[in-house]
Amino acid sequence: MNEEIIKLGFALIYGIATILAVIFLGLLYKGIDRKLAARFQSRVGPPIRQPFRDVSKLFMKETITPENSVSWIFHSMPLIAFATALLIILYLPIGPFAPILGEYGDLILIVYLLAIPSLAIAVGGFSSGSPVATIGAQREMVLMMSYEFPLAIVVLSLAWLANINATGNAFALGTFTANPVWEMVGIVGAMGLVLLLASIFVVLTSELSKLPFDIPEAETELAGGVFAEYSGRDMAMFYLADAVKSFAMVTLVVALFFPYNLSPWIISQFGVELPAIMGIPIAAYVIDLLFFLFKVFIIMFFAVTFVRVSLARLKIDKASYIYLVPTTIIAIMGMVFIYMGSAL
Amino acid sequence: MADTTYTFPIGPVHPALKEPTMFKFVMDGEVVVDVDVQPGINHRGIEFIGMRRNVLQTLHLAERICGICSIVHQYAFTLATERAAQVFEVPERAQYIRIIMAELERLHSHLLWAGVAAHELGFDTLLHLSWKIREDVQDVLEIISGNRVNYAMYYPGGVRRDIPPEKIPRIKKVLDHYKENFQMLADTFLGDPVIKHRTVGVGTLSKKDAIATSTVGPTTRASGVMKDVRFDQPYDAYADIDIKPVIPSNYGFEDAGDVYANIVVRLIEVAQSIEIIEYALDNMPSGPYRAEMNVNKVLMMLRKADGEGFGIHEAPRGEMCHYVRLKENQDNLDAWKVRASTYNNILAWQKKLIGQQIADVSIVAASIDPCIGCMDRVAVVDSRTGKEKIMTDVDFHRLSVEKTKRLRK
């Protein structure tokens, strides 16, 4: 009994610490992204701590309820988006640390949870009663319907791969951490994995609603679209949800495709014993965490920053087409390659 | 149809619009079924202010009608004043300096537009690139006139400042720099697949419609209409230079009148302007740069003048007209009428916007390079009861006849 309470208390503290750390990291990555994008465009750009300032300022600002909005839906959606984004984090392994809720959910749950912040944004847009937000919300829905399909194909292909090659629950993220996908396949399968990675990169941009797929917000067309009526605390919640979800989404890609840690390699390569305190390998944790943050940075750089400075915004029909036809075909091809690789 | 449509407002203040104006769209899903443009929000009564000041004061007021196309108003106003007074013999050097300034203005205006168009497409990197390139021409304008905007260069009977020979190498350096970078800019704008997808076939204006709505400037040239004041009725040193209106089909593009054709026209005009400036710098004769240096004498000459003049200048956005009437022994202008190019071009909005998607509205609206500050000359005033009255052409004709009768008394 006593032991369980201690375990629960530890999990609680661990969970809160993770959440706070992820909020901090999400905002930090947002700041880095903005700074790098600015340097790409030969601007000075905002300081890296600007997102923190933005959030604290938004929390101080007045929260306005539009006259013809459905106020309880309007105000609850930002909370739902933020809470779900945080929930996803608890199911994902952050670097060397295993997910807290890892035993209670699997990949399928994460894919569903990832859809909820976007849904909340769309519902919030519809409930705000502004024509601009309504159009933005419609676009958000169309976009979601388009990119969920390739995303599902990627996840299913990987789960199928894990099912035949690894022991344990094929949909659990722990399985992927223990058995990196690249080790399960031959050359043909690796080609398939590259295709899957490419399609998830395309999905990533849209999932995070960044250019060229920031169509629901489209500043110059819809004046902020779904967020047109949001202000103050509600806006801050969406802002935080976006930061956390960006981090979560990239973490998912890292967990699925690049679950490698650096410390085992260092130990085997140099034969050094990394210092540990009270049986906890602190040094290995620090190295692995930094390596994980580096992986997240690399993926964010190529999937978000680099893409958003080099493309113009697409139209909704074209964006939907890109997901439903080319991206889906690439994902299916990846699936076929993996199947062929395993069958051979 | 009536059940599925809804109205969607853009304006009076909207990130897609750089200046306040109002669109009311009737939408079916994402497609525009009908559009009502309601300008008149940015009216400042500048003509009224100008008619209460003397010509030289109004000269500087004219420049402040618009921040971007400042110099074109001053140019057209100066031309109109000179034609009304008919006493100024503009020296040849001044004529060359005038067209150098006008073409530098076109350079910076077109580059500014290119940046704005990129921003409307959500391509902010290209916005910053275009505006970085634009900084050089701004530097040149500052070197010549001392200002980045509102250069205050034109003057009845010449220009206010000379371009001394020691400044010419610096200007040429920038022009060479532009010639080197032009191809890069053209490749980015005309070759990028996403820009092509967003602009080809978007906001088309047929040649017939372009003529029917009497659009001017790049908007009409993109539809293949050969219309350019510098070519049709050359003024000042433009008469010495062989200028051909830039229409896309002469350069291997289609005269579609879409946004892409607008980009083509403006980019080629940048190259054309560089050529004109170079020619003008090389062939600028020496001599005085103003007919009469004494300000008081100029004012006296204008006071004695009696008559009316019509000044037309090919602004970056198209034909820009100023009408000026001077009366003997009267310091202030007797009449002043401005018709900016945007006034003609907004008529094309309706033709261009119907059938487009809502996502295209901002870029189509931007494709005519609207300058609302220049355009809003007519205010619709609500009556004291708060009722709005829509004026028809019959009303305007009646009012005009009444006004003419009053003036004749």
What is the number of other CB atoms lying within 10 angstroms of the CB of residue B409?
A: 4
User: Which residues of B are less than 8 Å from A214 in CB distance?
Assistant: 122
pLDDT tens track for A229-243: 888 888 899 899 989
Contact (Cβ atoms closer than 8 angstroms) between residue A296 and residue A33: no
Q: B122: distance to nearest CA of chain A, Å?
A: 5
The pLDDT score that the predictor gives to residue B384 is 60
Please judge whether B128 and A131 are an interchain contact, meaning their C-beta atoms are less than 8 angstroms apart: no
Interface of A with B (CB under 8 A): 40-43, 131-132, 135, 211-212, 214-215, 218-223, 309-318
User: Mean pLDDT, to the nearest integer, of A332-342?
Assistant: 83
Of the partner residues A41, A220, A309, the one whose CB lies closest to the CB of residue B362: A220
Q: Cα–Cα distance between B383 and B363 in angstroms, integer?
A: 36
**Residue ranges of E strands in B275-340:** 307-315, 318-326, 335-339
SS3 state at B335: strand
Peptide bond into A212 cis (omega under 30): yes
The pLDDT score that the predictor gives to residue A270 is 75
Please judge whether B362 and A315 are an interchain contact, meaning their C-beta atoms are less than 8 angstroms apart: no
Contact (Cβ atoms closer than 8 angstroms) between residue B219 and residue B207: no
The pLDDT score that the predictor gives to residue B307 is 87
Of the partner residues B30, B119, B128, the one whose CB lies closest to the CB of residue A42: B128
What lies within 8 Å, CB to CB, of B398 at 6+ separation is none
As for how many domains chain B has, the answer is 1
Query: What single DSSP character describes residue B337?
Result: E
Please judge whether A131 and B7 are an interchain contact, meaning their C-beta atoms are less than 8 angstroms apart: yes
The pLDDT score that the predictor gives to residue B1 is 45
Q: Cα–Cα distance between A124 and A70 in angstroms, integer?
A: 9
CA distances from residue B20 to A113, B51, B57, B70, B116 in whole angstroms, order as listed: 42, 25, 27, 18, 16
Between B383 and A16, the higher pLDDT residue? A16
Instruction: Evaluate the CA torsion angle A154, A156, A162, A168 in order and state its sign.
Output: positive
Contact (Cβ atoms closer than 8 angstroms) between residue A204 and residue A250: yes
Q: Cα–Cα distance between A120 and A240 in angstroms, integer?
A: 14
Query: What single DSSP character describes residue B287?
Result: S
Task: Provide the domain limits for residue B98.
Answer: 54-319
- B355 in A contact zone (CB under 8 Å): no
Please judge whether A312 and B123 are an interchain contact, meaning their C-beta atoms are less than 8 angstroms apart: yes
In terms of phi and psi (left: phi > 0; alpha: psi -120 to 50; beta: otherwise), the region of B179 is alpha
Looking at this protein, which amino acid is placed at residue B284? M
The pLDDT score that the predictor gives to residue A52 is 93
Query: What single DSSP character describes residue B383?
Result: P
Q: Which residue of chain A comes nearest to B194, CA vs CA?
A: A312
Please judge whether B357 and A315 are an interchain contact, meaning their C-beta atoms are less than 8 angstroms apart: yes
User: Mean pLDDT, to the nearest integer, of A5-25?
Assistant: 86
SS3 state at B358: helix
pLDDT tens track for A104-143: 778 888 888 888 888 898 898 888 888 888 888 888 888 8
What lies within 8 Å, CB to CB, of A206 at 6+ separation is A143, A146, A147, A213, A319, A323
User: Which residues of B are less than 8 Å from A310 in CB distance?
Assistant: 125
Please judge whether B358 and A214 are an interchain contact, meaning their C-beta atoms are less than 8 angstroms apart: no
In degrees and rounded to multiples of 5, residue B357 shows phi and psi of -85, 160
Task: Determine, yes or no, domain membership for B340.
Answer: no
The pLDDT score that the predictor gives to residue A28 is 92
The pLDDT score that the predictor gives to residue A84 is 92
What is the number of other CB atoms lying within 10 angstroms of the CB of residue A13?
A: 10
Q: Cα–Cα distance between B326 and B304 in angstroms, integer?
A: 9
Q: Give the Cα-Cα-Cα angle B378, B383, B389 (nearest 5 degrees).
A: 60
**Residue ranges of E strands in A34-182:** none
The pLDDT score that the predictor gives to residue B288 is 87
Of the partner residues B128, B358, B361, the one whose CB lies closest to the CB of residue A43: B128
- DSSP codes joined into one string, A297-325: HHHHIIIIIHHHHH-PPPPHHHHHHHIII
pLDDT in tens, chain B (409 residues): 456 788 888 877 877 777 777 888 888 877 888 888 877 777 778 888 888 888 888 888 888 888 777 788 889 999 999 888 888 888 888 889 888 888 988 888 888 888 888 888 888 888 888 888 888 888 888 888 888 888 888 888 888 888 888 888 888 888 888 888 888 888 888 888 888 888 888 888 888 888 888 888 888 888 888 888 888 888 888 888 888 888 888 888 888 888 888 888 888 888 889 988 989 888 888 888 888 888 888 888 888 888 888 889 888 888 888 888 888 888 888 888 888 888 888 888 888 888 888 778 878 877 777 776 666 555 555 546 555 555 666 777 788 888 888 877 7
How many CA atoms does the CB half-sphere of A176 hold within 13 Å? 28
Q: Which residue of chain B comes nearest to A219, CA vs CA?
A: B15
Task: Determine, yes or no, domain membership for B390.
Answer: no
% of chain A exceeding 70 in pLDDT? 95
CA distances from residue A110 to A117, A127, A152, A197, B116 in whole angstroms, order as listed: 12, 26, 11, 18, 40
Task: Determine, yes or no, domain membership for B16.
Answer: no
Residues facing residue B332 across a β-bridge? B54
**Comparing C-alpha atoms, which of A202, A165, A203, A167 is closest to residue A181?**
A165
Between A54 and B292, the higher pLDDT residue? A54
Contact (Cβ atoms closer than 8 angstroms) between residue B200 and residue B260: yes
Task: Determine, yes or no, domain membership for B358.
Answer: no
Q: Which residue has the tokens 């190259």?
A: B271
Contact (Cβ atoms closer than 8 angstroms) between residue B100 and residue B281: yes
The pLDDT score that the predictor gives to residue A80 is 92
Peptide bond into A326 cis (omega under 30): no
CATH code assigned at B133: 1.10.645.10
- B346 in A contact zone (CB under 8 Å): no
Of the partner residues B124, B126, B362, the one whose CB lies closest to the CB of residue A221: B362
User: Which residues of A are less than 8 Å from B120 in CB distance?
Assistant: 220
> B35: part of which helix (H) or strand (E)?
strand B31-38
Please judge whether B129 and A42 are an interchain contact, meaning their C-beta atoms are less than 8 angstroms apart: yes
Asked if residue A41 has pLDDT above 70, the reply is yes
Task: Determine, yes or no, domain membership for B392.
Answer: no
